[in-house]
Amino acid sequence: MNSVAHLSLLVERLSEARVLCIGDIILDKFVSGEVERISPEAPIPILTITDETSMLGGAGNVVRNITTLGGQVHFLSVVGNDDAGRTVAGMLDQHAGVQAELITDPTRETAIKTRFLAGNQQILRTDRETVSSISDALVDRIMVSLENEISSIGAVMLSDYGKGVLSNGLLRHVIKMCNDTAVPVIVDPKGTDYTCYRGATLVTPNRKELEQASGMPTKTDADVVAAARHLITNCGIISVLVTRSADGMSLVSAEQTDHLAAEAREVFDVSGAGDTVAAAMSAALSIGIDTKDAAALANSAAGIVVGKFGTATVYTSELIGSLQHQNVSEAEAKVCTDDQTAEHVAGWRRLGLKVGFTNGCFDLLHPGHLSLLNQAKNACDRLIVGLNTDASVKRLKGSERPLQSESARALVLASLASVDAVVLFDDETPLRLIELLLPDVLVKGADYTEDNVIGADVVKGNGGHVVLAGLADGFSTTATIERMNDST
């Protein structure tokens, strides 16, 4: 049974998920800029850097996805005694729902993937990493942590990026302990020899990985099923979930097969989609959701994440909205939480796009508002509108305001072509939002001066600037309400 109502209820249960994740942590760096000329020293482009961002990659992206789906994660990994290791530790500390144990090994380098982008085109990737199995002493330390946690978790997620944390010895010990205690083991695999995952509950290869691991073709549905069952028989794995890009997913066990159609409406970036699938499966299986329903949730989650830029995450609100997509308009999808908006900003910046921000109550939208928003959009590539909640408007404007609810005001704003995201804030000023998002352009009406624009110092201190938009005369929500009251 996987009706929309049933699956939506299961999504709400994901907050009960308790997953222990072990795997290779990677620091993903994105260096964005512009290419306007070729180097005189060699036939290569010169990238003028405009922005640099970092995020958790590898197993770290699995951890991020589990937490944005509402689950709790105990994360075990190994890092080097270096700046990158300390950076990923700090990032993990900032994520609610994550308890991280990062073991420092001075003989290793923390893996770093740096992507250089000109506009939306990746022109170079550099990797710095150590690729070797961890020592037996480190295996023992991880096993002690697992033994201490095994009774309080619902699933173990093994995120293998082939850097060596998941050595054959560690895999063997972890899977045996989980089998002995009836804890499901989900593996996002690497390499071509899946015998090292013997005893796993589920592995999640993509089509290419399945073809390489099985040595069999994977062009048709029948090919995929045959290749997956080859792994099940020869590698001792219970079931295989194959991600097949535009062809969706196939869930295969020894007795049953389920093909799930792809749900993406528009594909921007498939990087990290496998992490999202692995995270959704491990969160769902950790609370006893059956494998077929878990795969349906993972399929919907994958359809969301490929519509974002970079190694992105999926939120429970987005997942429920995707499951009920026939009732969700494009405008509704633009109304975002703080975290969703911050994720959009990070993605836009990786594409070299300039992000703008303006704010207001926007009660009874009028031509003056439209003029402000159009001027704001002309000053940037992507425009975020901070919208006062109903409670905030009442504090600012009085008990009779707003005339329209926050949900109605948000939907009207989001319907405008000039607006790319709407985010509600409950404070009297948007300062907290501005500090979180750090827009490149801050827009207010010309009735302000730069000195009294809230957040101007934050934006300018971060290299951005303030735009004072010209006012359209004769338009005011307050004046309109007064005229309405006078006529009654």
Cβ–Cβ under 8 Å, residues 110 and 79: yes
Beta strand 18-23 pairing with 155-159? parallel
Which strands form 355-360's sheet, in the order they lie side by side? 335-336, 421-425, 382-388, 355-360, 441-445, 465-469
- 205 cis-preceded (ω within 30 degrees of 0): no
Task: Check 24, 160, 188, 275 and give the catalytic one.
Answer: 275
CA 313 to centroid of chain Cα atoms: 2
Pseudo-torsion of CA 315, 321, 322, 323, nearest 10°? 110
List Cβ neighbours of 216 (8 Å cut-off, separation of 6 or more): 223, 226, 227, 230
| Residue whose entry in the numeric block shows the structure tokens 């080097």 | 80
Q: How far apart are CA 317 and CA 42, in angstroms?
A: 49
Backbone angles phi, psi at 17, to 5 degrees: -65, 135
Q: HEC string of 456-485?
A: HHHHHHCCCEEEEECCCCCCCHHHHHHHHH
Q: How far apart are CA 177 and CA 184, in angstroms?
A: 10
Q: Is 275 a catalytic residue?
A: yes
Cα separation of the two ends of the chain: 56
Q: How far apart are CA 296 and CA 240, in angstroms?
A: 14
Structural Rg of the chain based on CA atoms: 25
Q: How far apart are CA 102 and CA 63, in angstroms?
A: 13
Q: How many CB atoms lie within 10 A of CB 486?
A: 7
Q: If 0-12 CB within 10 Å is exposed, 13-18 middle and 19+ buried, where does residue 251 land?
A: buried
Angle of helix 291-305 relative to helix 316-323, nearest 10 degrees, comes to 100
Cβ–Cβ under 8 Å, residues 298 and 338: no
Residues noted as catalytic: 275
